[in-house]
Structure 1
């Protein structure tokens, strides 16, 4: 139950009514059907009201003086497992075809019966599991291609002029059609199983026939099928730490793709921080510049270190980019030996990001006494090469690389670690890493409600003087610290 002070804050600042919240239903009350809640969630999403409850609570807390814009905030993400099984490719195609057959059997059994055989019932009559597959790579490939032929036969039957048109509108049939385009080739030679680079990227490829928004992602070697949730919270020492923004993406979206969205959302809702502390996954020189220019936010986080080859000799380390001097006006780079670059060209990455490629002449590098520490080039036209970002971004990158080596910056950045406690609390209290719903929109709504519940819990703890929990240290780690 909420404490008296927390209830007063949420009802409105200065409210004298501290009476308990309304009680529950009578024991013999019939209640309501669970579909009422499902319909309510759908209406919230349809009308774009998912974040309304969080906004109302934050507004009340702002009126009470517990939330202020312009301070410090921090952000981190964690994975969210979809409410579906993680399937390998063979399981996926088998289960996708089975789901379509189940839907068609329920909708048009008389139409489906002449199309299937006993072999189909054997293959798709039960859920497809890995242990049921035949042994041997070649035999498994043939099984997958047989599933492909069966799927195309079913789609051809659905597309025939004699078939009723509404069969094509069944969602499971649409999913089957999309999945088969992603997983198979069909031409004059027959049906072929796509391999390797011939497959669409994971971001565009279905991972489950039961949740088309869930995708398979990998982070730090761990893979999962589902989503990511990004939580941003205030971190002032004299106020409760409150979650101000929640972003839900599919599992394949990199953290760097969310940074600008977070800033825009915070600015629109007027909870924009003065300083935003994030880990390396959210930050590039371009992000630092955009946050500063577009929103007046100081984005604090470590950028990638300046590396070149590998440190083969501690006494004679490799010459990194910091050892070179860039003359942007003259479009030249000067090496540590005073030699100017021979080539400067404006280029773009495949993603469209602009960059500058700089080359030194091989003749200059071959005769240089620093060559072993600088370049491995031994033939061709060019020696050492450098890749530079656009001028403002490159200057920010160099400044941040130098700054993040200082103790002052490290002390400033230490505050980011606290957001891990928020994720831990959300996982323990609201089961944040397991969504009970299918679809990104409903998962996002659940994440918003989790964040709102945590905020209310934290306000209650703050008003009643409950101290923050300490960092958990295992017994073994504690033993190592005291040894």
Structure 2
């Protein structure tokens, strides 16, 4: 039975996974997705992809100044990830009064790359959702999972299966989880308590 929600960090989170988990398993993927690191997304003031209106049905994009793209091409990255390339006309971009906020090149026209509609809209929704204070509070539930995984790997050999076969592997993982619970319960009974998040010396100086 698939979980209703799956909380992931940015290293595993992606638009393709969001769509596939929802369509194939009915699972909602929650967590931060990678930010837009393009120059236009970091430059302030600047026009990132969300500043452009993507008209999916007409296969065109309208820029913040009202200019419409002249080319729409479906392609893919080397890893097979589907992409859409969009290009505007030089005649529209060269005289644009806000060109400096959109593109650094002095001559070429603006071009954009983005994913197909389902994936792109899923990426937008994920970025918006994680900004919600309630979502951030719920995401704190995941804070201890990295320590749990580290304990499972280092103390219980979680990454090395002793048997062959999916069912035997699952049984080993269940027994490993039980063993971690027993060890932690024993530590709690003898008075050991979690020490919380460790901070570097530099971070402690900032707090002081």
TM-score range, shorter chain: 0.7 to 0.9
5+ residue gaps, structure 2, are: none
Deviations 1:246-274 (A, max 9, x none): xxxxxxxxxxxxxxxxxxxxxxxx3x221
Matched-pair contact (CA < 8 Å) for 2:41–2:47: no
Q: Does 1:455 align with 2:178?
A: yes
Q: Displacement, 1:292?
A: 0.9
**CA RMSD between the two structures:** 3.5
1:362 equivalent in structure 2: 90
Q: Which structure has more RCO (C-alpha within 8 Å, separation ≥ 6)?
A: 1
Q: Which aligned runs of 4 or more in structure 1 are off by greater than 6 angstroms?
A: 445-448
Matched-pair contact (CA < 8 Å) for 2:56–2:117: yes
C-alpha distance 469-446 of structure 1, shift in aligned 2 (>3 A)? farther
1:294 equivalent in structure 2: 24
Matched-pair contact (CA < 8 Å) for 1:342–1:360: yes
C-alpha distance 312-294 of structure 1, shift in aligned 2 (>3 A)? closer
Distance in 1 between residues matched to 2:42 and 2:13, nearest whole Å: 29
The count of residues paired between Structure 1 and Structure 2 equals 204
Q: Displacement, 1:481?
A: 6.7
**TM-score, normalised by the number of residues in structure 1:** 0.37
Deviations 1:376-397 (A, max 9, x none): 23335xx111112111111111
Matched-pair contact (CA < 8 Å) for 2:88–2:111: yes
Q: Displacement, 1:299?
A: 0.7
C-alpha distance 425-361 of structure 1, shift in aligned 2 (>3 A)? same
Distance in 1 between residues matched to 2:175 and 2:134, nearest whole Å: 34
2:129 equivalent in structure 1: 403
Q: Displacement, 1:365?
A: 0.8
Q: Displacement, 1:421?
A: 1.6
Matched-pair contact (CA < 8 Å) for 1:277–1:413: yes
**TM-score, normalised by the number of residues in structure 2:** 0.79
- Structure 2 residue corresponding to 1:282, chosen from 4, 8, 12: 12
Q: Does 1:377 align with 2:100?
A: no
Q: Does 1:352 align with 2:115?
A: no
C-alpha distance 360-447 of structure 1, shift in aligned 2 (>3 A)? same
Distance in 2 between residues matched to 1:421 and 1:428, nearest whole Å: 10
- Structure 2 residue corresponding to 1:394, chosen from 113, 116, 120: 120
Q: Displacement, 1:310?
A: 5.9
Distance in 2 between residues matched to 1:357 and 1:312, nearest whole Å: 21
C-alpha distance 447-479 of structure 1, shift in aligned 2 (>3 A)? farther
1:136 equivalent in structure 2: none
Q: Does 1:424 align with 2:150?
A: yes
Distance in 2 between residues matched to 1:290 and 1:464, nearest whole Å: 40
Distance in 1 between residues matched to 2:33 and 2:199, nearest whole Å: 31
From the CA coordinates, give the structure whose radius of gyration is larger.
1
Q: Displacement, 1:455?
A: 1.6
5+ residue gaps, structure 1, are: 1-269
